Amino acid sequence: MKYDVAIIGSGFGSLTAAALLSKRGLKVCVLEQAKYPGGCATSYKRKGYWFETGATTLVGLDKHMPLRHFLDETGIQVPLQQLQIPMQVHLPDGQTLTRHAHLHDWIAEAERVFGKYNQRPFWEHCFSMSQQVWRSSLQQQSFPFSNFKDLLLSGLRARPGQVKLLPGAFLTMEDVLRKYDLLQNQLFVDFVNEQLLITAQSYLPEVNELFGATALCYTLYSNYYVPGGLINLVKPVEQYILANGSSIKYGQEVQAVATLADGYRLDTNKESFESRFVISGIPLNNTLLLFQDQKTKQRLKPYLLESEQLNGAFTMSLVLRAEEKRQEVLHHQVHVPQGVPGIGGKSIFISFSHPQDTARAPAGEMVASISTHVHDPQLHVVKDKQSIEMAILDVLVERGLIRRESILSVQAATPGAWIFWTKRAYGAVGGYPQYRRIKPWQMKDARLDHRGAYLCGDTVYPGQGIPGVCLSGIIAVNKLLQDHF
């Protein structure tokens, strides 16, 4: 059967694109190598428990944000439970910092922990910039430019507030802290660095102001928990795609993409599919290996990042006996200034299931997802998994986040396991890191071959996080329709 659009992978960017295209009457086929939809924004079942595959937090549902736009556009309903406190951060000096959801409360907390000096103007500036970035992201769906029509449409959609954002592309977050004279506050610098790492995959000297200010403020937007796990974010999207006459085929690992006179042929481990258009929702490194056309390969090569520029993750899935007085906060970042032994990660992120969520664990039990970064995963091959597990658990027990006697089971995974299960090159997670030498307009845009192949996902502009990959799917659809309809 020949489809209008074949989409490689079922990550949230791919599902966004598939839903929007199927709404417009196009026949779409999503090809996914795994047995669940959602890629790194879903859940998996093991021994009766539901664990998060990658992402554990959900934002992007406020006004002018991509996930809100997508759900409004399609009418898809997702079960959501808003978090009153998005996160707590456990600092190296023993203090616990609460990332409140409202700007006024957050500034008061930041002043309590870091001192009053310039915290208010810094955070007011970052929040204001983040609001304008989100607003502009949906207004400028032809960005980055890769043909004259993009440039023309972007000019027509330009607003005064967007022009004011331009200097932020040339400044790093280190420059911003210097402007507010905050670089001498080492506790604050460490906090910002580790917060940037979980949102931008990089540190102060590399992350530009536009992305950094937005990343630091994600807790100041509505944060949600999805009962039953993030699988219940992607399942309604899957059902919407199927209801509109399109297909999602599981266990279909795309191994090659050939260019035909009137479209593309995608060869999987089981069969072949033909389509007029194709969208790759898998990482750029993996996409390069699929396309047989040498011109396409040459176009893509300048945008690739190698292992030494990427991050993998050491992850753990815990089953715990639920505590009677379980704290309200589900998400915690714990600083580890000495680094996790063997892998060097300077912070550990742990997310708990909601105590009342009996879909993920039976009553009286709960699950937790733990992750820490592994920089240059190809170089840092994990050989002693058990000692890393013990070191991480020791930190979490010491900070009072878990009790050793409450642990019912532990399952750990290395970047090697990520390669095995997700097929992602190097086992990289979180998308491409931000680097100051790569300006927003230099990131890979949605066009792959300027013919009929497009891109979305966490390694292209805008990339990272569920809101970012959702926006990448929106942009891929916009450019496909702009070019051909």
**Residues found in the chain:** 485
Shortest CA distance to 199 belongs to which of 183, 212, 186? 212
- Residue 14 confidence (pLDDT): 98
pLDDT score for 327: 65
Per-residue pLDDT at 326: 59
CATH class entry, domain 307-427: alpha beta
Element of type H or E holding 274:
strand 272-280
Q: Do 310 and 350 touch, CB atoms closer than 8 A?
A: no
Q: What CA–CA distance (Å, rounded) separates 67 from 430?
A: 18
The token pair that represents 214 in the structure block: 């937005």
**Topology of domain 2-79+227-305+433-484, CATH:** FAD/NAD(P)-binding domain (3.50.50)
H helical segments located in 180-335: 186-200, 209-216, 231-243, 284-290, 294-300
Q: Which stretches of the chain drop beneath a pLDDT of 70?
A: 324-327
The answer to whether 237 touches 19, Cβ cutoff 8 Å, is yes
Tens digit of each residue's pLDDT (9 = 90 or more) over 319-329: 999 875 556 89
Per-domain residue ranges of the chain: 2-79+227-305+433-484, 103-220, 307-427
pTM, rounded to two decimals: 0.96
pLDDT of residue 52: 93
Please give the structure tokens belonging to residue 211: 């992305």
